[in-house]
Structure 1
């Protein structure tokens, strides 16, 4: 059969039957073979393509990209797949994936001649669909504004940029005052129209570079990137109040409440900035609505008082009364070696059991204590109590105590620590002070001096909640920490979120590079334990290891039994778990 068929013509027919554009180029980038699909895509017949190069019918920038890839394939012989843009015969930009590989064909004189074979896949509609899906996932369908997901990305980027530039910006949270009444009286269609108009007004009033988002419901927010804060933010807040109080759609006037927080003065990371702007918004609502307030420390205490108010007791006054009356106590949570579960230490955690209302979470009363100055008395009591307890332990284990930002900024902290060590007889090397990034954020001379004096005593330091703030790496550069503690949020989501797992791996690698032991907080499952051991984590802490107890007790070894780790680990029996040097 082959003897009666023109093989060249047969090859061309076969290529024309292929739906994807196919071409062959010589070493001078000239087309020597093309199929019909390529002619259709470029809007030219084969006679117009054969012997020509990309520069004859493509924009120079696109043609230069194609040639550079061709040269790489000819030079290396490696197959290359690249996503490119190409202008089709109608002048429309198409997104294509081109796979190119080198072949050698025997020429008329018998020598092997290099040629490049390319196959094109048009992925324009897939990329369009991806862009559409991204837009829908990151924008509010009603107003077209960025939604909560994209807002968080913009907020994180703003924190990073402000950190790098040493600049400020303001976060304004906006809540519409009478929106529920609009929905109730005029229906949801009218409410939707109000939200669309508010979104348009907010987008119009901000300057280029600022960001407006709808967080959901009737809540909007603005990132104002001006450095002149808080003056610029408060001025914008006043403009918004005037704008939103004027009659809008169908004569509807709703008004707004606005809470504002400034980075970095009011908060040193994105989560805390959001929280404190929300506290300011809450303060406006509590004061009668229709106003704009910037966060201050009294709002934290006020929020705590309001939390307790429905129960008829003043939280701040009760906390003051709790000091020295036995209502405050300590619980101890174990920290263990990831390799074999051996006990390494305990973290002292404060507890408050109210005589009438039961347990009050530290997240509620600690901010109040920091705001009104009671944290100094509480912190001193914790140090003395924990050091005395540690001296009575049957283990020579490490004692970890949390120190707040307010304590560290007090000149008397080194003396208080020294007194607690002297009174208990505990060696300074057994005491480890855990400090979050925000405690060191201002980097003032007073903070640096306190850190230096405490290190001179022989006390160790751990950087707590590592990765949750914006200045983690800078803190490691500026302060000689002895340990890093990975924030529990990354550990708890590392099995379900690839980004969290990548962050955990990165922090562990950073610790190894800096010769800093790393502790993972929030370990609650055997799967997390196994993954952290395999990644070479040094220490673990969490409910799987042991819950906080009033008396320090050795953790269970059951989780290690579940992972196949022996009770006694020898250098030859580490089961592949990597130990840090």
Structure 2
């Protein structure tokens, strides 16, 4: 009742209302500044504490002073200025100390700071009351004094605690209400503790005179200015912080990686990329980052890449790469996490690793994987007694590429690869080395065990493959060579080489498509390699020579020319048949320098003859496929001085089949130079009539095999007649090779053959020293 009586009967309620409004606004600003101080950086914290102390001290002092002016004790009153000013300083510095303590980062600091605030308010109030001078006797009630201090300390502690707390009955509005209550209860309970008994009238003011009211309003205005300054500063800072947060959001959203900012153990901001990682719709802000990345607190380190696992909202696990940076500028440091989704990169790395070890077209293991597998199967720790290596080459695959195109060839390889992989049993291995070359590896107990895999692969490869929607089907065959470890070789390179040798034997065979390695194969290869090495140096050693075989007109026996034939005589006097070394020269590429040497040597020799006989020089298919052949022939003719009309170049039908368009183009260039072109070995090719139709040859040379079978095979005589008739119809002269008996020559004369060549007319040999009688000597 004393509290209510003091409030309603001894105060000017208008000024009480002004004080209450001032207390409410000031308390609200104080609570907001408390939050700002708590998040201030080390550099700005002292400034914010001072500003908060000034605003808070001014709030409670002005509230107290206006309420004191509103007090009407019925006697003259006055205020001692020094104590009044001292009470303002106590309010400001006490509030600053309370705000500083309340915003520390240890448990209970908020409540302790609030309690200190209550004590500061109490000290300010009762120090101000000491400045109150009344013309009467002042008596105090200790109970009311203790209650007022208790109200201030308890409600102040609760207000500061709720300002920084979470959950129910927490937040700025609850804290503001509690702070207003602490100030109001302190003041009016403290005023109720004071009883003034009037003396005789003396100096001072009585009640609420007009001057007193004006002073109260002036005090309120000054206080408002102080508090308004604090409020304006807070608003400007809040705007700056808002702009900073906006720029931070823009920066976060511009990053393709997931970004999360953690402060005080909880997420304060993220971007859309992080939300997409954890799952749209999941509550993120306010949650700990460890909810999605469990080990981030212990595993992540500043400025270091760490690979962790993020668990999304749906439970799926996502590999991520996390980097973090700590921003220590605020009293509550914030940590910025960059979280990169590694699924695409891991998938790409797996693809790169797959391509490094597997064929990009068929998906089968490649050469690298094959060598690793074979080394494990044949290594010292191998559990197998024997291992079979199969070298596989597809037959007729080149025809598919040439006829249907490389895209069709790729589809065939892909389909065959799938079938071969499906045909494997556990412990078996297959790989593609490139093109149409494959290898397979399997453990065996007996050599014939490899035949089981060969049969399965034969079925997989030989089955037709449909190329496209048109229904065109193609089929390949295979040639397989088998080498056994350790029987055939103990080193990997030798084992692979032996399997290849067996495969080449199978490819050359007509009867079988699979061959096992035999030691004789290796011997043959060594002999061939040795011959190639000797052939490389044969020109420099002078072991190669050009021999000549005469060509005569069948009717008159007149010499029409000579064919240049290459002969190889080793230094030890042994001769090597052209049938042996010419194929080796073609396979090794040596035919190009050897062929140029033969052409240049033959032309130079013929240019020195007294008689302008024509010479015939054979061209290999390898030479014919060389783009510089016409230029070479023209240069040789210019260098040797031989007339182009005296040079005849002989080619076989096989040379034209490989690339007819290109070959005909080169032959036309040769014809343009002025040399003549003859078709050699006519009748043994694949498309003689179409070849004659596509290019106008200057001569047809009938293969020697028909002359050899002339007496024993009536069909040969019929073929010779047909060729001679064909030549006559096309106005192309025909030369018959291999004439060795007078009966053969007589038959050719009867049938009207133009020219002949053979041992009967003259064996190949070097030209005599005197060229004038060379024809007679060669014909002998």
Q: How does the TM-score come out when normalised to structure 2?
A: 0.35
Q: Which has the larger radius of gyration?
A: 2
Q: Which structure has the highest helix share of the two?
A: 2
